[in-house]
Amino acid sequence: MPVQVYVQNKSDDTYLLSPEGINLFNETGGRVPALSLDQTYNKLKKSYWRSGGWAVATGGFAGFSIHNVLKINEQIKADIANRMFKGGNLVPGSATEGTIFLDVTPRIASINNWSLTVVIRNGKTGELVSIPYSLSGNIIVRDLLENVNNIEDE
């Protein structure tokens, strides 16, 4: 699950933040840490390899499809790296943003009573500051095959 994170420092102190300090907590308090670049890429890569597998299984443009899958995978990894939330020093008056990717349980229906928490460290005192953000809403998961069938029907 991709989440866009924006953090602005309105204080007079510099804070250190890291993607590892961003976590999702479900309604029971279970922690879902942000995925690393490689973890995110590996999850997405599996989806594209499945697409290549379907092309081979159906006999349609198999060699061409596998070549495209490899090329697309390289582009996806570069795009993920470019968009991912990066850590560093957040000086007074500055802001940073990026996308984090979270591995949530497949087919969950709701994120009501979940929270996204960003933990930052004060550069002067070393104090950890936790910034929680409450989440709510429903999640609709569409099956990949259902999406393909809908496209073909149009």
* Number of C-beta neighbours around residue 41 at 10 A: 20
Handedness of CA 152, 43, 87, 117 (dihedral sign): positive
Give pLDDT tens digits for 68-82.
667 777 787 888 888
Q: 18 vs 7, 42, 66, 142, CA distance in Å?
A: 11, 21, 36, 32
Q: Set out the domains of the chain in order of their start, with CATH numbers.
A: 2-153 (2.60.40)
Residues of the chain with pLDDT under 50: 53-55, 57-59, 145, 148, 153
Instruction: Tell me what pLDDT residue 35 has.
Output: 86
Q: Which helix (H) or strand (E) holds 68?
A: helix 62-83
Neighbours of 101 (CB within 10 A): 21
Element at 144 (helix H, strand E): helix 144-153
Any idea which residue has 């922690």 for tokens? Answer: 31
Q: What is the pLDDT of residue 128?
A: 96
Residues 6+ apart with CB under 8 A from 52: 65, 66, 69
pLDDT of 142 reads 62
pLDDT at 6: 92
